[in-house]
Amino acid sequence: MKGKSVIVTGAGSGLGREISRIIAQQGGLVTAADINEAGGNETVDMITKAGGKATFVKTNIAVEAECEQLTKVALDMFGRLDGAVNNAAAGQNAARLHETDLKHWNHIMDVNLTGTFLCMKYQIPPMLEAGRGSIVNIASYAGLFGFESATEYCASKAGVMGLTRAAAVEYGHHNIRVNAVCPGLMFTGMQAEVLREKADVLNEIVGMTALGRPSRTEEVAESAVWLLSDSSSYITGVSLPADGGMAGSGVSRVTRDWA
């Protein structure tokens, strides 16, 4: 990633922070975005203290003007935009479909799906101008499998996979690659609290993996950085499961209710 300018959304915690750290460690220039100002600044401090280069832009990815501004800051700061990892997302509310209110559904779609679209909308023009670029969207194993009490989240992540495929076709001829990573279980953010309290749910999800364990966040982050980098130069349009073999092994036991 040496000298590459990359936007990472949701960089204020969890997977986004880890992806930002790895990119900076490899000599990349990170524009870290998050709605959480404290978390985003912390990520930038971490990177800077380790000798890397990063800047923070407070961004709500559900707001178009803020996505436009995010790309503008990356260009002003580093003079180019080589890549982006669209990772920011909001979690599920653990309610059944018929009990999910429209406001919540809209919020999840606005952040996870429309937010990813809006980020790409402003990341792609400078890449078109440069004649190259690489985008990695973070989907989920929930985009590949159905889970109870997570319909809005599953639908939003399947949407991200569709968006990725279509954009790969649209921009492949312009030397812009668009891929996705579907993480399996990671102990990050809100997910960690839920899973620590619900050993049965945790065991069932781990039971769906071939490796028989949850991931370390850096294992998923490394996959995303590889897809972002030139090392994967002939790969576009894929949604890569980094899920311990849930999708690859075809193990698909249905989990119980998360509510």
Ligand X SMILES: NC(=O)c1ccc[n+]([C@@H]2O[C@H](COP(=O)([O-])OP(=O)(O)OC[C@H]3O[C@@H](n4cnc5c(N)ncnc54)[C@H](O)[C@@H]3O)[C@@H](O)[C@H]2O)c1
Instruction: Build a one-symbol-per-residue string for 189-228: x at contacts with ligand X by CB under 6 A, - elsewhere.
Output: xxx-------------------------------------
Secondary structure of residue 35 in the 3-state scheme: coil
Structure tokens at 96: 């059944």
**Minimum gap (Å) between residue 192 Cβ and ligand X:** 8
**Minimum gap (Å) between residue 18 Cβ and ligand X:** 8
Q: Which residue is nearest to ligand X (CB)?
A: 14
Q: What is the DSSP letter of 10?
A: T
- When asked if residue 141 is in the footprint of ligand X (CB under 6 A), the reply is yes
- When asked if residue 85 is in the footprint of ligand X (CB under 6 A), the reply is no
Secondary structure of residue 238 in the 3-state scheme: coil
| 153 part of the active site | yes
- Restricting to residues 37-56, which ones interact with ligand X according to CB under 6 A? 39
Cα–Cα–Cα angle for 159, 146, 189, rounded to 5 degrees? 75
- When asked if residue 19 is in the footprint of ligand X (CB under 6 A), the reply is no
Among 29, 81, 111, 178, binds ligand X (CB under 6 A): 111
**Minimum gap (Å) between residue 174 Cβ and ligand X:** 26
The CA distance from 113 to 245, in Å, is 25
Of residues 17 and 53, the one with the C-beta less far from ligand X = 17
The CA distance from 39 to 26, in Å, is 22
Which of 228, 254, 208 is CA-nearest to residue 28? 228
Asked whether the beta carbons of 127 and 176 are under 8 A apart, the reply is yes
Phi and psi based region of residue 85 (left: phi greater than 0; alpha: psi -120 to 50; beta: remaining): beta
- When asked if residue 136 is in the footprint of ligand X (CB under 6 A), the reply is no
Q: Which of 122, 153, 171, 234 does the annotation list as catalytic?
A: 153
Q: Contact region for ligand X (CB under 6 A) — 69-77, 87-95, 120-128, 251-259?
A: 87-95
- When asked if residue 247 is in the footprint of ligand X (CB under 6 A), the reply is no
The CA distance from 42 to 18, in Å, is 12
- When asked if residue 10 is in the footprint of ligand X (CB under 6 A), the reply is yes
- When asked if residue 14 is in the footprint of ligand X (CB under 6 A), the reply is yes
Determine the straight-line distance between the first and last CA of the chain, rounded to whole angstroms: 41
Which of 160, 151, 156, 157 is CA-nearest to residue 101? 151
Among 67, 74, 155, 185, binds ligand X (CB under 6 A): 185
The CA distance from 140 to 160, in Å, is 9
**Minimum gap (Å) between residue 76 Cβ and ligand X:** 20
Per CB under 6 A, residues contacting ligand X are: 9-10, 12-16, 34-36, 39, 59-62, 87-90, 111, 115, 138, 140-141, 183, 185-186, 188-191
